[in-house]
Amino acid sequence: MCTVFARTPKLVELESNRDARLAPIVIVGLVEQDERVGHLVPSRKEPKIKLQIRKTRVHVENVLKGNVDQQVLSIYYFAIASGYDGPRPLGFWRPPSRRIFFIRRDGDVLRMACDVVDCTMPVTSGSHPGYLADSNKPIDYALVDINLTRGQGEIEDARFAYEIGWSIPATPLGGYVIDKLQHLVSTEPAVVKTAACEMLWIYTRDRSDTQLVQAANDGLRSAQCVCAVKPDGNLACQ
């Protein structure tokens, strides 16, 4: 039996994923299909590791940065195709999967701004129809808006809560994130409220920004969050 592949673009594995978040195009999209489009090739960095060019078809829900002229995009990337021991690989999703994609152009195709290691962000907060990012602000503001705001559609509260801590950017946004967390605490069910309280408490331990610490403490009090470190070292909030 002969395996039929889709057209294979002439791509080269990226040297680094370090600047993926600086990609010129950032979208929120729903993965509709993911397929292999070429034969196995050795990694240029680790020849013993085999890679596979794959194409994922993504339905665009929001454009957070840059411009795209289609509602459905084909985005290419190199995926791991052999034994691997490292961070979460790129492409480990099952359609439908809502994610934030960081994209760049390569010739006449679009490709992920990363290869092998996953640089996408899962979106567990639902869909956000009509959301428009402020182009005058860094992309991190849009990421916070999407990930820390309950959207529409079916939402698993436990997954939403779990991703709260992972979706807050390392770049400090001051009181913007604090305000988002306070809103979650005051409007969400217990599991999400607890996750938001924990993040507020973590902000109170920031010794580099006294104003941020004060805002976080105010947020904890106004939200009536009670947090304490348990004997085993884990944080418990209610």
Mind listing the pLDDT tens digit for each residue in 72-104? Answer: 999 999 999 977 777 889 998 888 999 999 999
Mind listing the pLDDT tens digit for each residue in 55-76? Answer: 999 999 999 999 999 999 999 9
Asked if residue 2 has pLDDT above 60, the reply is no
Q: Among 163, 42, 31, 146, which residue's Cα sits nearest to residue 90?
A: 31
- Pseudo-torsion of CA 182, 194, 214, 202, nearest 10°? -130
Residue-level pLDDT at 172: 66
Angle (CA) 12-16-17 rounded to 5° is: 105
Residue-level pLDDT at 6: 53
Burial 133-157 (b: 16+ CB within 10 A, else e): beeeeebbbbbbbbbbeebeeeeeb
- Taking the model in full, what pTM does it have? 0.91
Mind listing the pLDDT tens digit for each residue in 180-236? Answer: 999 999 999 999 999 999 999 998 987 778 888 888 898 888 888 889 999 998 898
Query: Which residue would you say has higher pLDDT here, 173 or 65?
Result: 65
Instruction: Centre a 10 Å sphere on the Cβ of residue 116 and count the other Cβ atoms it contains.
Output: 25
Q: Among 39, 43, 37, which residue's Cα sits nearest to residue 57?
A: 37
**Distance from C-alpha of 101 to C-alpha of 90, rounded to nearest angstrom:** 11
Asked whether the beta carbons of 232 and 195 are under 8 A apart, the reply is: no
